[in-house]
Structure 1
Amino acid sequence: MKKTLVISDRFPLPEKFGADIRTMNLARYFAGLGLVDIAYLSDLPSGLRQMAGAGGHLEKEDVFSGKYCLQKLEYPRTLRGRFGMSVRGFPYPVREYSKASMEKLVALIEFGGYDFVLVRYLRNTAGFFGLSQAAKMKVIVDIDDVLTLSLYDTLFTPTNNALRKLFRAINKALLTYYQTRCVTAFGACLVCSEKDKLDLWGEKASESIFVVPNTLGMRGPGKLPMGSGFAGRHILLFIGALHYQPNVSGLLWFLENVYPLYRNVYPDAVLLVVGRDPLPEVIEACARSKGVELHPDVPDVVEYYKDCRAVVVPLLEGSGTRLKVLEAALLERPIISTRKGVEGLDVVSGVHFLEFNDDRSFCEAYRALSNESVYDALVASAETMVLERYSNSALSASMSKVVAYIDSRKAKMSSPRSHTPAGQPSDEAFN
């Protein structure tokens, strides 16, 4: 029986958001191998505490045997402090753990009897380069969002300050170096798509980098009576975290540059904007746009899928794979997306989704949905694609390769041939 420690930004239940879904899918895989503990950076949700021992749904989904709460140091407020932190080996958004939390993590990883340590996101690996070599071989870094590409600029507010621009350029170089160190220092690194792997490391990517696709996990076809959206009103759905900058910039671009023409063509059109923690600019843009309804922090998104005729994904930046696309496919609604919105997914425009890049191409794509056979074919093809390529079995197959790779590396480290005394030639020297 194997034992795994998951290190995450927050406790991933209830499982409502993309980051939590991926965390739980990976945790469930490791739970199939044995015990799973979790160390997280925020307190247990009050709902989970109330349901503990009550046999509720959250308790049934809670696969974690042990739970450890962590803290990180505050990020410096001054530019000088931030620069100092970056050059000390913690480029933003990597942030140091508190002394007590770092000591707790070192004790757990070095002496807790774990076979694997899954770290969600690069930013949560601060201080891990100081672990023993044997401990570092246990570590699997799930990079997920690739911050050194187009996402990097979204980490900061726009500025014309020359010093801030210089700091951000230096920080990006240091973050890229930090990312490379993670690939070479730890047991394995995970990305969401072949494109991310290729963009980051090219054709000569390290054998320790694995593609582990996003999956929806608990939600599957046939579980929810959705009904066809073909005969519905001209209602579009945009769904996503409304504080996440790629979602925000994509939505604002769509509202300003695409939606006005669509609403001229379809005067009764409605855009449902659904997501958590909307930024002020999102609230303002939705309020001043006719035919736009903002629904923040809803308990369940399924009803909004039922109401819509199509799902729009107007992303212009970002990395990874879009869980919102997989969700729309399984909830039987056609997807109209920019190329960036489906990047990282093995999809074809006109088969699994309809592509657009401006207002006219969007209206043309939507007009194609007036043909019921086209509508139904897109829905069926997208659903089949998700079930075949982005299912739990696909994630399990990918993770099995990761586990086998780490086990083989640990076996090589523990073999007598890898412990040749200093000054004594190894067997390879005579071959």
Structure 2
Amino acid sequence: MRIMFVTPAIRWPLQSGGDIRQWHTLRALQECSELDVIVFQPSNVPLPEDLYSHCRNVFTLDGDLLRFSAGYSRQYSSTVGRYQLALGRLKPFEFLGSVDQQQRRWFSELVEREKYQAVWISKAATAMCLGWHDPRKTVLDGDDFDSVREYFLLRNSPWYGAKAANYLNVIKLKAWEYYLPSRFAYLARCSEADRRRVPRHNVVVIPNGTEIPASAPSKEFYGPPRVLFVGSLGYQPNAQGLDWFLQLVWPLIRQDCPEATLDIVGGGADPATYNAYSQHGVRAHGFVEDLQPFWQSASVSIAPLLAGGGTRLKIIESLAQMTPVVTTTIGAYGLDLTRDQGVFCENSPVKYAEQVSRLLTNREHAEARTRVGFTEVSDKYDWDSIRRKMQELVKKVAAH
């Protein structure tokens, strides 16, 4: 079986939920087929060749093609220009990457010449850049709903001159997301809740997951109780939610637990950004390859999201590391996990702080909940079983 996988660049070491999902897709397809890959790799970032060493052919395209062209960028940066883009273009901003007709012809001819039995494309913007739609042999991994993420980001941000243009863009984005299933053999979403947003016969659920340890990890508590935030701060919903937590929630936690500390782990922002909080038990570490020491010592993790789409890998990973997590309703969206399994949802700063403080001071209660949660994520969100779902889907496409 011969398959083509088309993906945005996968950063190595893996730095975000998108990188992790794309990497596991690559692994799944490598295991079941003779695989060719097209990577939209930024020109200033070397291709991690070891990542693709088991692929038959690897083609690279300029990753900047997935971004606004220089002309669109200038237009978008002004209020008037943004309204012109919103009103004068059929496609939403997210799909206005550079159009290269020669590249589109090359891709179409490659698929025709090589006679791939299936094509798997990661992200709708990637398919749009290639001008590709194929209702017979192509799986589009739509992952999450960009319109949901953008709507909540707008709702939680102050007013600015072009905000109405961005709201109009959300409407267009939602319309395109509704239309996507008709353009591909299958459209993958990462939760049942997302599938129900566009309940077509060819919309399937491929969840996000985590690596499940062979047995429940043991904790090594030492020193003051520790709260842990893990996430890419280059992802706007993470940065927005962490700011909300630091400004409105963390001071309340420190009133209840003056000795509590907060570790912020994730790339995408200069750790010095959080120096102002360093006198209040906050330590920013930037990107860290080995998270295990942080998970072992954390009493509770947080996912204070006010916006976002899809499902949060950090919540699943937290339970796999026997760490209860406090999040919001939006943060827990799409995950079939409850308080009984160690996922606590609170939306107000006061309630959020109370729940974190309660878990910091009652470790026995937290451990009982997370032990149930560990079993649940082992059953539902193990990447090994998710990769098998990917393989079953691509084999189904190839058989037709």
Give the TM-score band, short-chain normalised. Answer: 0.7 to 0.9
Q: Which residue of 2 aligns with 1:18?
A: 17
Change (3 A) 1:47 1:206: closer
Is contact 1:241–1:277 with CA below 8 Å preserved after alignment?
A: yes
Change (3 A) 1:172 1:327: same
Alignment-mate amino acid for residue 195 of structure 2? K
Deviation at 1:127, TM superposition (A): 5.2
Contact 1:193 1:320 (8 Å CA) reproduced: yes
- Tell me how far 1:372 sits from its aligned partner: 4.4
Aligned equivalent of 2:160: 160
The letter for the 2-side match of 1:103 is: R
- Distance in 1, matches of 2:136 and 2:383, equals 26
Q: State the partner residue of 1:65.
A: 56
Using the TM superposition, give the Cα deviation of residue 288 of structure 1 relative to its aligned residue in structure 2, in angstroms: 3.6
Q: Who is 2:127 aligned against?
A: 125
Q: What is the rounded CA distance, in whole Å, between the counterparts of 1:364 and 1:174 in structure 2?
A: 38
Aligned in 2, Cα 1:20/1:277: closer, same or farther, shift over 3 Å?
Answer: same
Distance 1:215 1:257 in 2: 30
Q: 2:248 aligns with which of 239, 254, 257?
A: 257
Q: Tell me, yes or no, if structure 1 residue 272 matches structure 2 residue 269.
A: no
Select the residue among 276, 283, 296 that pairs with 1:287.
276
SS in 2 for 1:149: helix
Q: Secondary structure at the match of 1:70?
A: strand
Offset of 1:146 from its aligned partner? 0.7
User: In 1, distance between residues paired with 2:225 and 2:207?
Assistant: 32
1:305 — aligned with what?
Answer: 295
d(CA) in 1 for partners of 2:187, 2:304: 29
Match of 2:203 in 1: 209
Which residue does the alignment assign to 1:399? 390
Partner SS, residue 41 of structure 1? strand
The 1:226/1:384 distance shift into structure 2, 3 A limit, reads: closer
Residues 2, 33 of structure 2: 8 Å contact kept: yes
Could you say what secondary structure the match of 2:120 adopts? strand
| Pairwise CA distance, 1:206 | 0.7
TM-score, normalised relative to structure 2: 0.85
Gaps of 5+ in 1: 50-57, 412-431
More relative contact order, 1 or 2 (CA 8 Å, 6+ apart): 2
Residue matched to 1:78 = 75
Equivalent residue of 2:239, what SS? helix
Q: Is the 8 A contact 1:25 1:215 kept in 2?
A: no
Partner of 2:304: 314
Residue 343 of structure 2 corresponds to residue 348 of structure 1:
no
**Equivalents in 1 of 2:131, 2:42: separation in Å?**
26
Deviation at 1:406, TM superposition (A): 3.0
1:380 partner letter = R
Count of residues paired in the alignment: 385
After TM superposition, give the deviation of residue 361 of structure 1 in Å. 4.5
Shift of 1:152: 4.0
> How far apart, in 2, do the equivalents of 1:264 and 1:136 lie?
57
CA RMSD of superposed structures (Å): 3.0
* 1:373 paired residue number: 364
TM-score (norm. length: structure 1): 0.79
Return the alpha-carbon distance in structure 2 between the equivalents of residues 339 and 166 of structure 1.
26
* 2:186 maps to which of 180, 184, 188: 188
C-alpha spacing 1:177/1:339, structure 2 compared with 1 (3 Å):
closer
- Whether the 8 Å CA contact 1:92–1:171 is kept in 2: the answer is yes
Measured in 1, the distance between the counterparts of 2:91 and 2:219 equals 50
CA distance in 1, matches of 2:390, 2:187: 11
Greater percentage in strand: 2
One-letter code aligned to 1:379? T
